[in-house]
Structure 1
Amino acid sequence: MELRQLKYFIEVAKQEHISIAAETLHIAQSAVSRQISNLEAELGVQLLQREGRNIKLTHIGKLFAEQAVISLNAIANAKQLIDEYVDPERGTIRIGFPSSLASNTLPRIIKAFKKEHPDVRFHLRQGGYDFLIEGIKKREIDLAFIGPIPKFDSNIHSDILFTENFVALLPNNHLLADKETISLSQLEKERFILFPEGFILRKIVEDACLQAGFQPFIPCEGEDLDAIKGLVSAGIGITLLPELILYENIPIGTVQINIDEPKVIRTVGIITPKHRELSPSEQLFYDFVIAYFSKNPK
């Protein structure tokens, strides 16, 4: 079994079309077909079956494709590890992050790191809470910034970098817009604009509202931060967001109000795999992040 056979097979499985896969791989279609036939002959099973002009994976083909992807990723990681041991300053780090840290925290830390280590490269992947945790477990991401820090996960090592408050974002003509601080109970009758069910920022807000004694009314929800802020600016409702999201970026027509009762907070930190040693480049960045936030909280 050869690496190129696995690469060809995975591309065909992805495209479900041999000619398209061949174009993507920049090789002849006959070469792709021949190598996959050789692979099937060696394994003694049929991996692909034709459906009209398209190709579909057989049941065993699907199982083999999943393991083939894992194998090629492992080989790529091993090659990267060797390259980084030769020169950690020229490694590539796959970093995951949520949208709530995209405009301030992430750019700030990468800018500071690149000043000291200009040749280290980054592959950035934005995603939701579960995506980041699973990405670390499946070795699709090397390190991830996340908030809040996950608890009681035996496969994840977590470090809290800082804690931040949630604040209320209100239209500037709201009756509470001139207040310096408010209690969450004062927003009981409001229309909340939040992320959809399953988003961690929504759960934090809903849990806080329940603690304040009410179930929030949520007539509008959305996955995009700018859209949520825009709806507040348009007077459609109000929202609660981590304060760093609004750092130097409060939408026109809105005001930010602190919440004093109860305090709505989240931990923000970095997660790494617990049962895998970080590569030299990853360790370089991890150590930098821990030291940076010990000197510059938030």
Structure 2
Amino acid sequence: MQLQQLRYFLEIAKEKSISAAAKNLYISQPSLSQQIINLEKELGISLLIRHSKSVSLSEAGEQFLVHAQRIVGETTQLSELMHKHSILQEGTLRIGMLWIAGYINLFQVLADYRKLYTNLKYDLKIDGTSILLEQLLKRKLHSAFIIGSDEQFELQKDLFFRRIMMDRYVAVVSSGHPFAGKKSLSLRELHNVPVIMPSRASAFYRQLVQYFEQYHITPACICETSQSDAVVRLAAQNFGVGFSSDSIARSMQTKEFRIIPLEEVIVRRIYYVTLKELLDYPSIRSFTRYVTHYPFDRLNSEEKEPRKITK
């Protein structure tokens, strides 16, 4: 049984004439008659009662009509739904966003994209880089904005990635801190100095530890957190030296704390990442194309690589 045969049958049932139905369907009457005969043979029952100039439905034909109308109707609805998906009038984007997304205007990207495709829905996961990348690789997210490096993502052969932002890390200290008047700060100066370390799960934590080991110094860690609000507020209250990306620190700037550039150039790179296998899917292809062409405001006029660490 073919869907086209169901449509032929419905047209005949509507017109009560094979010749009239054939005219409406733009096929020859013999071809249409043969299609219905083939259908009846397959079903093992006559659907039509043929008269000299018209047809009527048999009892089986009446029941077949009800089911054929439902099947064709649902098939049409399904086809229309899939078409809506293809033209981005239907569907859900599952996107991973960093905790710091609000500070670096990543939500604005979504807002601008939503203006173009108002019928799409969004399912957002807000978390840290390690969790978002794990969710992406488990196919629980369609794409994510995360912190990383080219070297890291190149190891994942099934990922498409594009760097969209880069920023330098800075020190944040209370306005009353002894370092507050410095124009720059070296990590060498932090021996036995209270510091607010980033989370151990972050790449930034590992970079800081490498420098401390290289310089043979041990800062006095009072806590570990990558929550920007907590870092800045603790530093502003003179609990210790905090670390933040320059853009986030400036977005929270008050008279209570000072931002000091680090002499060791440590950068934070933010990437848009998705799975290569999803790039042919309309909504993911569209969103990926939009993000990779989005005019992100660069926070640094020049992109310097971090200083190499020698052990």
What range is the shorter-chain TM-score in? 0.5 to 0.7
- Which of these residues, 237, 240, 245, is aligned with residue 237 of structure 1? 240
Higher relative contact order (CA 8 A, sep 6+): 1
Q: In structure 2, what is the equivalent of residue 280 of structure 1?
A: 282
**Residues 1:181 and 2:191 aligned together:** no
Partners of 2:226 and 2:83 in 1: CA distance: 39
Q: In structure 1, what is the equivalent of residue 307 of structure 2?
A: none
Q: In structure 2, what is the equivalent of residue 74 of structure 1?
A: none
1:114 aligns to what SS in structure 2? Answer: helix
Whether the aligned pair in 2 keeps the contact of 1:98 and 1:129 (CA below 8 Å) is: yes
AA partner of residue 126 (structure 1): I
Inter-CA distance 130–86: structure 2 relative to 1 (3 Å threshold): same
Q: Displacement of 1:297 after TM fit?
A: 2.9
Q: In structure 1, what is the equivalent of residue 272 of structure 2?
A: 270
Whether the aligned pair in 1 keeps the contact of 2:147 and 2:270 (CA below 8 Å) is: yes
AA partner of residue 139 (structure 1): R
Q: In structure 1, what is the equivalent of residue 304 of structure 2?
A: none
Inter-CA distance 206–103: structure 2 relative to 1 (3 Å threshold): same
Q: Displacement of 1:148 after TM fit?
A: 1.8
Seq. identity, %: 21
Structure 2 spans left out of the alignment, 5+ residues? 1-78, 300-311
**Residues 1:121 and 2:121 aligned together:** yes
Inter-CA distance 272–174: structure 2 relative to 1 (3 Å threshold): same
TM-score, structure 1 as length reference = 0.64
Partners of 1:147 and 1:90 in 2: CA distance: 30
AA partner of residue 162 (structure 1): M
Partners of 1:187 and 1:170 in 2: CA distance: 12
Whether the aligned pair in 1 keeps the contact of 2:98 and 2:128 (CA below 8 Å) is: yes
RMSD in angstroms over aligned alpha carbons?
2.6
Q: In structure 2, what is the equivalent of residue 53 of structure 1?
A: none
Q: In structure 1, what is the equivalent of residue 298 of structure 2?
A: 297
Q: Displacement of 1:187 after TM fit?
A: 2.9
More moved, 172-181 vs 222-231: 222-231
Inter-CA distance 228–296: structure 2 relative to 1 (3 Å threshold): closer
Partners of 1:201 and 1:89 in 2: CA distance: 40
Partners of 2:280 and 2:103 in 1: CA distance: 26
Whether the aligned pair in 1 keeps the contact of 2:231 and 2:243 (CA below 8 Å) is: no
- Which of these residues, 194, 197, 207, is aligned with residue 191 of structure 1? 194
Inter-CA distance 154–179: structure 2 relative to 1 (3 Å threshold): same
TM-superposition CA deviations, 1:176-213 (whole Å, max 9, x none): 21233222323334211123322334223323444555
Whether the aligned pair in 1 keeps the contact of 2:190 and 2:218 (CA below 8 Å) is: no
TM-score, structure 2 as length reference = 0.62
1:104 aligns to what SS in structure 2? Answer: coil
Q: Displacement of 1:131 after TM fit?
A: 1.0
Q: Displacement of 1:88 after TM fit?
A: 1.1
Inter-CA distance 103–86: structure 2 relative to 1 (3 Å threshold): same
AA partner of residue 297 (structure 1): R
**Residues 1:157 and 2:160 aligned together:** yes
> Equivalent residues in 2 for 1:1-298 (5 A)?
82=82, 85-149=85-149, 150-151=152-153, 152-211=155-214, 213-222=216-225, 224-250=227-253, 253-259=256-262, 261-293=263-295, 296-298=297-299
1:165 aligns to what SS in structure 2? Answer: strand
Whether the aligned pair in 2 keeps the contact of 1:206 and 1:215 (CA below 8 Å) is: no
Q: Which has the larger radius of gyration?
A: 2
2:106 aligns to what SS in structure 1? Answer: helix
Structure 1 spans left out of the alignment, 5+ residues? 1-78
2:200 aligns to what SS in structure 1? Answer: coil
Residues matched between the structures, number: 217
Whether the aligned pair in 1 keeps the contact of 2:190 and 2:217 (CA below 8 Å) is: no
After TM superposition, the runs of 4+ consecutive aligned structure 1 residues lying more than 4 A away are none
Inter-CA distance 215–268: structure 2 relative to 1 (3 Å threshold): farther
